[in-house]
Amino acid sequence: MEKPYIGVMPLYDDEKGNYWIVPGYMKAVEEAGGIPVMLPLTADPAILRSMADTFDGFLFPGGHDVNPARYGEAISPLCGRVNDERDEMEISLFHRVIERDKPILGICRGIQLINVALGGSLYQDLPAQFPSSVKVVHKQAPPYDRGAHPVAIDKESPLYRLFGTESVMVNSKHHQGIKRLADRLLPIARAEDGLVEAVCMPDKTFVIAVQWHPELSYGADPLQFRLFVEFVNQCRK
């Protein structure tokens, strides 16, 4: 069977003006049997339409915070750097891809971007806006291939069918998270403090997004590698 081509959203270096990518995104897709391709940063409708038609699946990775203007809020001083070009491209491409029902995997910013694209909102800074009596380390120190906290997985979810367990340890490297969940998304994993850590779109063949970073832990944790294998397999169909 031919290897599927996976479009990977580009990261952007604000200081250097460079496109770049974390190697783990590309290596995990390649090791899972796909051909990862970093996409150009563009909002050109014709190019976005062509990419949505051409690639077999799409990976929405981490990076900049989503501009709070996208969910009707002013930027808090605690919000991190935003990149309007990424927001515009990724939201526009996301809608084109789900129209075609092609597989999507979202990671960190990816879960946040998907939630906002579908009408949800975010906590701009978890320590300030999401107080909890349950202590969860949402921003761990390196190394990032080790688990920082457990997440509880919904037994009726595709993640449970994939992992075969109701709880899994995940790494954690974020300061934002889902506040108001978009109506079209289902929460399929939560941290002990209640924060949504994974979602799916039940009306689509394969749209799964996670708040943790499997691209940094898949080599040490076979469960996390399964996520990439399933994503690539779905892209083959």
Give pLDDT tens digits for 23-49: 999 999 999 999 999 999 999 999 999
Burial class from Cβ neighbours inside 10 Å (0-12, 13-18, 19+) for residue 189 reads: buried
Full-model pTM: 0.97
Instruction: Tell me which of 108, 138, 230, 235 is the catalytic residue.
Output: 108
Give, in degrees to the nearest 5, the angle at Cα 202 between 53 and 177.
Answer: 90
Q: Is 215 a catalytic residue?
A: yes
Which residues touch 15 (CB under 8 Å, ≥6 apart)?
A: none
Neighbours of 213 (CB within 10 A): 23
Instruction: Quote the mean pLDDT of the chain.
Output: 97
Indicate if the pLDDT at residue 1 is higher than 90: no
Q: Tens digit of pLDDT for each residue in 147-199? A: 999 999 999 999 999 999 999 999 999 999 999 999 999 999 999 999 999 99
Residue 226 confidence (pLDDT):
98
- Nearest-angstrom CA–CA distance, 225 and 237: 19
Alpha carbons within 13 angstroms on the beta-carbon side of residue 128 total 10
Which two three-digit tokens encode residue 16?
């250097």
Instruction: Tell me which of 64, 149, 174, 213 is the catalytic residue.
Output: 213
Which two three-digit tokens encode residue 144?
């990032």
Q: Is 108 a catalytic residue?
A: yes
Residue 178 confidence (pLDDT):
98
- Nearest-angstrom CA–CA distance, 57 and 49: 14
Question: Do the beta carbons of residue 112 and residue 173 sit within 8 Å?
Answer: no
Q: Say what percent of the chain tops pLDDT 90.
A: 99
Q: Is 30 a catalytic residue?
A: no
Neighbours of 109 (CB within 10 A): 25
Beta-sheet pairing, 57-60 with 5-8: parallel
